[in-house]
Amino acid sequence: MKKVGKIIADFPLTPESLIPILQEIQEEFNFLSEDSIKKVAAGLSLPLHHVYSVATFYNVFSLKPKGRNIVKVCMGSACHVRGAGRILEEIERSLGIKNGETSADGSFSLETVNCLGACALGPIMVINKKYNGHITPAKVEKIFQEFTSQ
Amino acid sequence: MTVTKQVEIIIDGRKIRVPQGTTILKAAAMLEIRIPTLCHHEELSPSGSCRLCIVEISNPSQNPDRSWIDSACVCPASEGLNIKTHSPRVLKERKLIIELLLSRAPDSQQIMKLALENGITKPRFTAADEGKSNCILCGLCMRVCNELIKAEAIGFSGRGIKKEVVSPFKIAGDLCIGCKACEAVCPTGVINFKIENKKLRKQDWGVALEMIFCPDCGQPVGTSVQMEQLKEKITITDELLSCCPACRRKKNYSVRTVLHRTAKGLSDVSDYNRLTSKETG
C-alpha cells in the first residue's frame, strides 16, 4: 500500500484532488481497495463516506478488482441498431463471462458503455485502449485469438 | 458592515418584507403559512430533495404571464416575487410527487398518511427496488449525522436507481455514537435501532454499542460512547447521568437544566429535546 501514499503525495491536499487521485489509484491497481479509500479520506481530511460516495458514483471506479484486460462493448443507439446486442452475446460466450463480470483467472472484464463517440465505426468494441470497429459476431472469436496470441 | 437588502414578496396574497436570500419556506413560516416538507430541518442545511415543498412562483413586474415551480426550501426570496403555495398547479404536481414518494416507501406509515391526506391510496408506479428500501433518499439522516452530531458515519453510495444510504465498510461500527438522531429525523421511519443482548444494534451499518441501563428502573438510557461525550459537555455526576430521565427527576435534579446545557451549540432547545426525545423521554 506504499504506492497509494505516493500517489496522494503527488497532489495538492485539497478536496479538488479527490477524483484525480482516485483515477490514478484505479489506473494503478485496477480497483479501489477499502484500504486505499480509507487512506485517501485520511490524506485529504475528508469524511470516509464522502470519498466512498464519489467512488461509487462514477462508473470509472470499481470497488472490486477488475481483470487485466478490459473489454468494452458499445451499446449506443448507432451500435445498437447495427447489432451490438448480438455481439455482446457472442463476446459473453467466447469469454465465458456475463456483462459486468470478471473472468475467474482475472484476465478479462466485460462491460458495456453507452456511446464511445465513434458511431461511424459501429458496432464497436474496445479492448483496453484498442478500438475494434465494424465487428460482427463472426469476427469476435478471431479478435480474441489475435489478442491472446500477442 | 454590509446591511442585507430587504425585499418584498407576496405569499398567497399576503405581503411580507424579508432579508434578501431568505428562503421562501422561511418567509412562509413567518406568515404562518404551512408548506409541507419531508427533507427539511431547521438545524440542517437545506437539500431540496423531497420536492414536497414546491410552490408556484411568478414575477409580475417582469413577465406576468409566466410562472414556474420551484421548491420553497432552497429558493431564495427576491424582490417582487409572487408565490402561491396551494394553487391548482402546485396541488396537482405535489400529488404526483407524493405518489412517487409512496412508490419508494410503500410500507411507511408516515408517507401512507400523507398520501391518504392527498387522496392517494395506491401508487401508480413501482420503484426500481420495488419499495423494499422504504427510503426516499432525502438525506436527512446523513445530514444530521454529519452536520449536527459530527459522527460522519453514514453517506450515500451509488447513483440513480442504485443510490442508497450506507455506512461505507460498516464504518459506523467505529464512528456511530448511538444517538439515534438519524432514527428520530427519518421521515419514513425506516431507520430502526434495536437493543439486543444489552447492545444497541443496527446490523447493516455494523453498529453494536454497549448500552447503559438505568440502575433504578432498568430502562435503557443511552450508549456508553454517547454518555462519555455528554460528560464532556455538561456538568453532571456519573450517578445522575446513568439514570433515565424519570429517575433523574426523582433524584431532585432539574432535567431541564441538563438538556439546556446539552443543547449548547444548537439554537433551539426544543429541537434538541425533539431530536433526543426517544432517549430522554
Contact B168 A47 (CB under 8 A): no
Q: Indicate whether A62 belongs to any domain.
A: no
Q: Indicate whether A76 belongs to any domain.
A: yes
Of B146, B157, B166, the CB nearest to A47: B146
Span B83-126, pLDDT tens digits = 999 999 999 999 999 999 999 999 999 999 999 999 998 888 98
B171 interface with A at CB cutoff 8 Å: yes
Q: Are residues A79 and A43 in the same domain?
A: no
Q: Are residues A75 and A52 in the same domain?
A: no
pLDDT at B233 over 70: yes
Q: Indicate whether A63 belongs to any domain.
A: no
Q: What is the CATH number of the domain that holds A130?
A: 3.40.30.10
- pLDDT band (50, 70, 90) for residue B260: low
Q: Are residues A82 and A49 in the same domain?
A: no
DSSP SS3 for B38: coil
Span A69-101, pLDDT tens digits = 889 999 999 999 999 999 999 999 988 999 988
> Hey, what's the cell of B69?
415551480
Of A34, A47, A52, the CB nearest to B157: A52
Nearest to B258 by CA among B225, B281, B235, B278: B235
Nearest to B168 by CA among B157, B176, B159, B160: B157
Cα–Cα distance for residue pair B211/A149, rounded to 1 Å = 62
Q: Are residues A39 and A99 in the same domain?
A: no
Q: Are residues A105 and A126 in the same domain?
A: yes
B92 contact partners, CB below 8 Å, separation of at least 6: none
Q: Are residues A137 and A85 in the same domain?
A: yes
Residue A133 is part of which domain span? 69-149
Give the end of a domain, one of A57, A82, A103: A57
Contact A52 B168 (CB under 8 A): yes
B216 interface with A at CB cutoff 8 Å: no
Q: Are residues A116 and A86 in the same domain?
A: yes
Q: How far is B186 from chain A (nearest CA, A)?
A: 19
Q: Are residues A47 and A75 in the same domain?
A: no
Contact A57 B153 (CB under 8 A): no
Of B142, B156, B171, the CB nearest to A48: B171
Q: What is the mean pLDDT of chain A?
A: 91
Q: Indicate whether A64 belongs to any domain.
A: no
ipTM of this predicted structure: 0.80
Q: How far is B145 from chain A (nearest CA, A)?
A: 11
Q: What is the CATH number of domain B6-86?
A: 3.10.20.740
Q: What domain count does chain A have?
A: 2
Cα–Cα distance for residue pair B280/B56, rounded to 1 Å = 41
Q: How many CB atoms lie within 10 A of CB A16?
A: 9
Give the end of a domain, one of A37, A57, A77: A57
Q: Are residues A42 and A88 in the same domain?
A: no
Q: How far is A92 from chain B (nearest CA, A)?
A: 24
Domain residue ranges of chain B, discontinuous segments joined by +: 6-86, 89-134, 140-280
Span A17-56, pLDDT tens digits = 999 999 999 988 989 999 999 999 999 999 999 999 999 9
Place of cell 461500527: B173
Q: How far is B202 from chain A (nearest CA, A)?
A: 17
B146 interface with A at CB cutoff 8 Å: yes
In terms of pTM, does the model score above 0.90? no
Sheet architecture: strand order including B199-202: B194-196, B199-202, B207-213, B220-223
Q: Indicate whether A88 belongs to any domain.
A: yes
Q: Are residues A8 and A77 in the same domain?
A: no
